[in-house]
Amino acid sequence: MIKSYKKNPKLDKSYDAILIGTGIGCLCAGALLAKSGNKVLLLERHYTAGGFTHVFKRKGFEWDVGIHYIGEVQRPNSILRKLFDYVSDNKLKWDDMGDIYDSIIIGKERFDFIKGVDNFKSKMGEYFPNEIKAIEKYINLIFSVNKVSAKFYIEKTLSPIMSFFFSNYFRKKFLNYSDRTTYDVLSEITSNEKLIKVLCGQYGDYGLPPKQSSFAMHASLAKHYMNGGSVPNGGSSKILETIGKVITKNGGTILVRAEVNEIIIENNKAKGVRLMDDNCIYADTVISGAGVFNTFKKLVPASISIKHKYLEKLKNVKPSVGYICLYVGLKGSSNDLNLPKNNLWIYPDDLDHDSCVDRFTKDNDEEFPLVYISFPSSKFSDWNDRYPGKSTIDIITMMPYESFSKWNKTTWKKRGLDYESKKEKFSQRLLTHLYNQLPHLKGAVEHYELSTPLSTEHFSNYKKGALYGIDHNPERFRQKFLKPKTKIKGLYITGQDIVTAGVGGGLFSGLITSATITGVNYLKKIY
């Protein structure tokens, strides 16, 4: 199904569409275009495809690098579920995480997020009995934001002339929410700072604390998980496996180890791509899933990016947060070790979220602003069949790129003893958080390894190891250039930069990019 460019596969000189990258946005767009009769070619610089949906294996264990849980797929008629069904030919199935999907731990207090609007409301009311009206107002508000968001994203598919005349109509109501920070909105609902801290307990899913994040992003994320969380049945790799088969079945080609050096542009028209070995492949349509920084600073010739003021526009956005992730392998099944399915979000109890982030950014020896713990081996129903007597854990925290930038000119796996020593220090700190929550796991760990922002930068090619592309602050949603169609004819953008962070945002970006290119209303096809 997926071929390596290094093995000189037989390629055509031209395609209907070339897609740069194999993240979820490109996979979705590739499948939609291929099913519409287009000959597509997906080019991936990494040795494995799938972007943040891929898995890696080591020492007899398997870890997912980005799919910790997905919302909305539990509802058979949700847009997300219908779109997944369509691009996978109904082959992608889901395992439900259960009633509790997230647990917010602040100091010694625990607050469980229960799936279902009424259940969530009731549980929050138990924790905060004097804040029931505020909780109800909060839930109504996040649903209101999501209701008006549809028009905002539809506007991204409009032609320049249509956008000029109708942009305000499609964007105005959404911008009323996106222009404000999460904290600004929540502080008008309640003065209870602990409640605000709990309601913002998933901010790590988009990377900005409440005084910096756009409320529109927060509302989208909170609504996304309101009905619980799920993971792909059979592991995260099933996303690539199922969608990839749809692409190839419909005449498409997916290549790894095929790094694009430049997008070929003549007379302001994208003509194809030039690979690192100077081989040129041509297409009338080029879709970049490499992120806006890579697209306009690396792949598009500088003279053209300057001409269309893309370099100037990029000054209005900035890369999102970096992170470190400790991949832990344990002896014993999830049942043997009594591992939960729900994620743990662990926070210090002495300061608000923003102050905790600021403190750690200034001094990495200070307490982590958050620690996220996921238990993938508990979530996948077939895990014990695939890896009997083994289990895995992911432990993640935010990490400024600058904390590791002194090694940014070194080679992966050859960064030196000081680098490894720093990684080990952070690894032990993260393990301490794990043992604080699950002390019986001491002695069960067989293997662990830490990825850093440099690891992310190396494998994903995102600037400064940015986990979520560009920051989801209020200014981000004001940038009209963050849309599929560029000012270069035949060149389009997809991926989380034009929608929002996460698998859902990435998948939806593939939909709106494909709709922009073809003019097809794919919603009619998937329903």
For 314-351, the pLDDT digits (tens) are: 999 999 999 999 999 999 999 999 999 999 999 999 99
Q: How far apart are CA 465 and CA 321, in angstroms?
A: 8
Closest residue by Cα to residue 343 from 148, 43, 68, 32: 68
Please provide residue 226's backbone torsions phi and psi, each rounded to the nearest 5 degrees. Answer: -60, -30
Residue 234 has pLDDT above 90, yes or no: yes
pLDDT the model gives residue 284: 96
Residue range 389-403: mean pLDDT, rounded: 97
Residue 17 has pLDDT above 90, yes or no: yes
- The architecture of the domain spanning 2-53+72-90+233-317+479-526 is 3-Layer(bba) Sandwich (3.50)
Percent of the chain with pLDDT over 90: 91
Q: How far apart are CA 259 and CA 45, in angstroms?
A: 4
Q: How far apart are CA 74 and CA 499, in angstroms?
A: 22
Residue range 68-79: mean pLDDT, rounded: 95
pLDDT the model gives residue 413: 86
Give the position of tokens 């020492």: 59
- State the DSSP code for 297: I
The tokens for 366 are 């200070």
To 5 degrees, how large is the angle CA 423–CA 426–CA 431? 120
Residue 444 has pLDDT above 90, yes or no: yes
Q: How far apart are CA 501 and CA 268, in angstroms?
A: 30
Contact 204, 212 (CB under 8 A): no
Q: How confident is the model at residue 13 (pLDDT cuts 50, 70, 90)?
A: confident
Q: How confident is the model at residue 374 (pLDDT cuts 50, 70, 90)?
A: very high
Q: In this predicted model, what pLDDT tens digit does every residue of 450-494 receive, in sequence order?
A: 999 999 988 888 888 888 999 999 999 999 999 999 999 999 999
Q: How confident is the model at residue 385 (pLDDT cuts 50, 70, 90)?
A: very high
Residue range 78-96: mean pLDDT, rounded: 97
The tokens for 183 are 């904290």
Q: How far apart are CA 230 and CA 238, in angstroms?
A: 13
What does the buried/exposed string (b/e) look like for 253-263 if buried means 16 or more CB atoms within 10 Å of the residue's CB? bbbbbbbbebb
Contact 501, 207 (CB under 8 A): yes
pLDDT the model gives residue 478: 96
- Higher-confidence residue of 313 and 502: namely 313
The tokens for 138 are 């909060």
Contact 103, 111 (CB under 8 A): yes
Residue range 157-174: mean pLDDT, rounded: 86
Strand partners, 282: 14, 272
Number of helices (H) and strands (E) in the chain: give both, helices first: 19, 19
Intervals of CATH 3.50.50.60 along the chain = 2-53+72-90+233-317+479-526
Q: How confident is the model at residue 445 (pLDDT cuts 50, 70, 90)?
A: very high
Ranges 153-162, 282-291, 380-389, 496-505: which has the least confidence: 153-162
Contact 467, 207 (CB under 8 A): yes
Ranges 120-129, 188-197, 465-474, 508-517: which has the least confidence: 465-474
Q: Which amino acid is at 249?
A: K
Q: How confident is the model at residue 167 (pLDDT cuts 50, 70, 90)?
A: confident
pLDDT the model gives residue 387: 96
For the chain, helix, strand, coil in percent to 5 are 45, 20, 35
Q: 14: which residues sit within 8 A by CB, 6+ positions away?
A: 272, 281, 282, 283
Q: How far apart are CA 20 and CA 470, in angstroms?
A: 18
Q: How confident is the model at residue 65 (pLDDT cuts 50, 70, 90)?
A: confident
Q: How far apart are CA 391 and CA 255, in angstroms?
A: 32
SS3 82: helix
Please provide residue 377's backbone torsions phi and psi, each rounded to the nearest 5 degrees. Answer: -65, -20
Q: How far apart are CA 327 and CA 376, in angstroms?
A: 11
Alpha helices (H) along 363-450: 376-379, 383-386, 417-437
Sign of CA dihedral 434, 435, 440, 446: positive
Contact 298, 316 (CB under 8 A): no
Contact 321, 466 (CB under 8 A): yes
Residue range 50-73: mean pLDDT, rounded: 92
Crossing angle for the helix pair 182-189 and 132-155, to the nearest 10 degrees: 150
Q: 95: which residues sit within 8 A by CB, 6+ positions away?
A: 230, 231, 232, 233, 379, 380, 381
Q: How confident is the model at residue 169 (pLDDT cuts 50, 70, 90)?
A: confident
By the 10 Å C-beta count (0-12 exposed, 13-18 middle, 19+ buried), 453 is classed as buried
Contact 276, 262 (CB under 8 A): no
By the 10 Å C-beta count (0-12 exposed, 13-18 middle, 19+ buried), 50 is classed as buried
Average pLDDT, the chain: 96
Strand partners, 149: none
What does the buried/exposed string (b/e) look like for 318-339 if buried means 16 or more CB atoms within 10 Å of the residue's CB? ebbbbbbbbbbbbebbbeebeb
Residue 1 has pLDDT above 80, yes or no: no
Q: For residue 229, how many C-alpha atoms fall within 13 Å in the half-sphere facing its CB? A: 25
SS3 285: strand
Q: Which amino acid is at 384?
A: N
- State the DSSP code for 368: P
pLDDT the model gives residue 62: 94
Q: In this predicted model, what pLDDT tens digit does every residue of 214-225 receive, in sequence order?
A: 999 999 999 999
Task: Determine the straight-line distance between the first and last CA of the chain, rounded to whole angstroms.
Answer: 28
Residue range 114-132: mean pLDDT, rounded: 98
